[in-house]
Amino acid sequence: MFGNVGTGKTYAAGCIANALIDRMISVLYVGMSNVVNRMQGNFGADRDSYIKQLMRPDLLILDDLGAERNTSYGKECVFDVVSRRLLSGKPMIIITNITLAAMQKATDLDDRRIYDRILEVCVPILFNRENFRKGNAAESLKKAAELLKSPLS
């Protein structure tokens, strides 16, 4: 799932997760930054144990690809998780603000290795609606202004 900020990607993935959980299908929903941070703090058996946790559920949802550290180590972690999940044969949903064109035309070798694997097993779905958070923020400002106008009791 890709598209601009606030277009409902995370919400849609959450709905999918909830529907599957209601059917007793295991789902793990994690942010890519969290994955990279956890892997950085774990070595050897601890890292292997954490990766096994990521491979165990029937569906793995990786939120915010591209928001993790843009370092060679961060990319290595992302590659490792995506590649192992692909090899497990189990599905994953990846949520990102990175455009499909940027994934297809990546020049960095590490990025190309990651995106190639993602595009092999994931169907790209574009979320191109308006940022719903802007509407929510405008509504909150309107309510705050109304509260300021009303006399205090």
The H or E element containing residue 31 is strand 27-31
Q: What share of the chain is helix, strand, coil (3-state, %, to 5)?
A: 60, 15, 30
Burial of 150 per CB tally in 10 Å (0-12, 13-18, 19+): exposed
Per the prediction, the chain carries an average pLDDT of 89
Q: With H, G, I as helix, E, B as strand and everything else as coil, classify residue 91.
A: coil
Q: How do residues 8-40 score in pLDDT, each as one tens digit?
A: 999 999 999 999 999 999 999 999 999 998 888
Give the pLDDT score at 102: 95
- Model confidence over 50-107: pLDDT tens digits? 999 999 999 999 999 998 878 888 899 999 999 999 999 999 999 999 999 999 999 9
Cβ(124)–Cβ(95) under 8 Å? Answer: no
User: Which two three-digit tokens encode residue 52?
Assistant: 């096994």
Distance between CA atoms of residues 47 and 81, nearest Å: 11
pLDDT, tens digit, 9 for 90 and up, residues 130-153: 776 666 666 667 777 777 776 654
